[in-house]
Structure 1
């Protein structure tokens, strides 16, 4: 009898935990979908940093992908450079896109890589995904290349948007490649972000 009671109790606890986990998962899915709907409502576009010497995803023989975007590199330390950020440039065609910002990259001899996403006036970043590595693309767990932004090692979500996102990562050596993805929306700085330095009035 005690064994049956214990079995019933354990089953009840497992069922409760499963339901609670399911509710949490559903809530997270709802919040993520709600956030995505909010971003989509702002008229947002996918954007990538561009280099004329960069590797277009669609044109690379080692990558089976219909995604557009560019891998920048190889870059050797010491290096400082800036790249245009284009949104909506489907199939890597700049005529289809719009210039929305600048990506600044610094690669120091100590192995530190600093990356700044800077948006032009009227635009803001609501998501960023950044790849830095010694190969032109990141790899999936099975070893094959991927350019899905969710697979990039560094990322950020900014629900209210911003015109500046910065990363500083260390431990790199030799030649590196960079892929800088973002979700760009129309954006206006809030008054408290603009500063209140109006100069002295005498």
Structure 2
């Protein structure tokens, strides 16, 4: 009897204070379920947009219709079809780390590097989230995994490729040292190219031009640089070719005369087959003829 009295008292309190009829309790439960359903992250609720200006990838995520983002995983391919890694990122507006493995419970192609934006502190902001990443290579495609509080969802990145059309042909290239350069045609040869010098000891950077017939720079393409570091009788020469071009062959002369054995044919050069050369036992001022065969034309 005592327990019955307590039950009746509790029921009266509930009705008078909270109006908790069975029907109203059901409505409240249904409303709560609908709210939870609206917040449940499902594929398509995140709106991902990207744009690319040069080598910069801008990503915007509209998270207003679902749970906030906690982690982002990015896996991106460059124009050669290679996965980018830590060496390819110049800057990012959000701290990143490079890793392999599933990470944060999301499935991924774990054999290759991916960019991980970890533990993003944006749960309080259910609106627009943006990030910007700048690479040192042009990007052609990629995928992003968005992790909310409970689920992961993959989206292909909408990237407009900024890849230069790269051919399979090659061009002859020579280092051009500006005021130090003398065109072969100006010293009695029909072949184009330059001998550069005379250089005293020091550090120098020469432009590497391909296809500059008759030594006309307007006809050529700058494809990289050649550096000369000459100190204490030793010259170190390095070839540097920029993407999308590739270095196929090199021929080098460094010495006290303008030409090697009076000839300009690359095949007669004393050094070949490398991108970096160290030449010892030099003295006085030196000349350099740096020839290359460059691919990508």
TM-score class normalised by the smaller sequence: 0.5 to 0.7
**CA deviations over 1:146-184 (Å, ceiling 9, x no partner):** 100011100017xxxxxxx11111010001100000000
State yes or no: 1:80 paired with 2:80. Answer: no
Question: Shift in Å at residue 58 of structure 1?
Answer: 0.2
The number of residue pairs the alignment matches comes to 130
Structure 1 residue ranges without an equivalent (≥5): 1-40, 140-144, 158-164, 188-202
Deviation at 1:42, TM superposition (A): 2.3
Distance 1:82 1:98 in 2: 17
Following TM superposition, by how much is the alpha carbon of 1:124 offset from its aligned partner in structure 2, in angstroms? Answer: 1.1
CA contact (8 A) 2:175 2:209 kept: yes
Q: 3-state DSSP class of the match of 1:115? A: strand
Partners of 2:267 and 2:170 in 1: how far apart? 18
Distance 1:166 1:131 in 2: 13
Q: RMSD value over aligned CA atoms? A: 1.5
Deviations along 1:18-40, one digit per CA (max 9) or x if unpaired, are: xxxxxxxxxxxxxxxxxxxxxxx
2:278 to 168, 173, 194: 168
Counterpart of 1:130? 252
- Partner residue in 1 for 2:186: 59
TM-score by length of 2: 0.43
Structure 2 equivalent of residue 45 of structure 1? 171
Residues 111-138 of structure 1 show CA distances to partners (whole Å, capped at 9, x for unaligned) of 1100000001111111000001110001
* 5+ residue gaps, structure 2: 1-166
State the distance in 2 between where 1:167 and 1:138 align: 17
CA contact (8 A) 2:178 2:206 kept: no
Q: 1:88-107, aligned counterparts within 5 Å?
A: 88-107=211-230
TM-score w.r.t. length of structure 1: 0.62
Say whether residues 1:186 and 2:296 are aligned partners.
Answer: yes
Say if 2:268 is the partner of 1:151: yes
SS state at 1:83 partner:
strand
d(CA) in 1 for partners of 2:193 and 2:244? 22
The separation in 2 between residues aligned to 1:148 and 1:121, in whole angstroms, is 27
Look up the SS of the partner of 2:178 in the other structure: coil
How far does the alpha carbon of each residue in 1:85-119 deviate from its partner, in whole angstroms, 9 at most, with x for none? 0000000000110000011110012x110000000
More helix by share: 1
SS of residue paired to 1:104? strand
**RCO higher in structure (CA 8 A, sep ≥6):** 1
Q: Partners in 1 of 2:247 and 2:190 — Cα distance?
A: 24
Report the CA distance between 1:67 and its aligned residue.
0.5
* Cα distance in 2 for residues equivalent to 1:51 and 1:104: 10
Runs of 4+ deviating beyond 2 Å: none
